[in-house]
A = this chain, B = another copy of it.
Amino acid sequence: MLHIIENLLDTAQLSQLTSILTHQHAQWQDGKLTAGISAQQQKNNWQLSRQDPSYQAMANLCLEALQQHPVFMSAALPKVIMPPLFSAYQLGQGYGMHVDNALQIHPDSKQLMRTDLSLTLFLNNPADYEGGELIISDEYGEHSIKLSAGDAVLYPSTSLHRVNTVTSGQRLAMVTWVQSLVRSDEQRQILHDLDVSHILLRQKLLATSDQAQSTQAQRTQAQRGQLSEQHSTDQQLTHQAIEKLNQSYHNLLRLWAES
């Protein structure tokens, strides 16, 4: 399942990142250096060196933005997020069809991590370059993804995907991988659906409760007494149903989370 994560970075944050990336002293290196054997011959782009003095601050900014974005957290249920890679595709560059390696070595902890989800954050706008679409392939056809600066796409690392050749301008992006607490895409999707429903219904329930109270203020006291009692039992049942949703969500998470 694809998820679009909107507004992961705001305009100020984007400016900060792009000014560093387009600065003349940015330390770029050949993207092939971090590609697996099968992907190596497909990959043709630049990546910011992790030794670049600005790298760590940029990486932290992105990681914090991810950890504070409720849609990302609910849809990805991250256990580990890889340190981001900042990439630039210039005229004629692209990345042929490939599948990401199942396991990567985390550069800090030196532990193997499993790549359950891939994420691409677009750092400049579609108007700034031609080509450069992220193409995620399935048998029916191909999803073509080119988002506004600050938006990201999160998708299962099991898919074949590529980046179209850039035919004008320059494409700036951040990519990273997530090892999820919940390995299966099918299970993660059910959890995300339940989470979204639970939150929306909890809000709606509270709204209804407030609205009911203001409506009541216009009634006679006798009407109020009768309605209030019935309303209170209703509210209690609804409240219990919402709590049961919450319990179901947490018990599913217990059943599925590898921690």
Contacts and interface: CB of A to CB of B under 8 A. Distances in A.
Interface string A176-199: 000101011111011001101100
A254 B197 contact: no
A246 interface: yes
Given A38-B246, A140-B2, A208-B208, A103 B259 contact: yes
A235 to B, nearest CB: 9
25 contacts: A1-B138, A2-B138, A2-B139, A2-B140, A3-B139, A101-B250, A102-B254, A103-B259, A115-B254, A140-B153, A158-B250, A183-B255, A185-B186, A186-B255, A189-B251, A190-B252, A193-B251, A194-B194, A194-B245, A194-B248, A197-B241, A200-B241, A204-B241, A207-B234, A208-B208
A195 to B, nearest CB: 10
A1 B241 contact: no
A183 B252 CA distance: 12
Most chain B beta-carbon neighbours within 10 Å: one of A79, A99, A234: A99
Given A140-B2, A244-B197, A187 B234 contact: no
A114 interface: yes
Contacts of A215: 215
Interface string A36-67: 00100000000000000000000000000000
Interface string A70-111: 000000000100000000000000000101111100000001
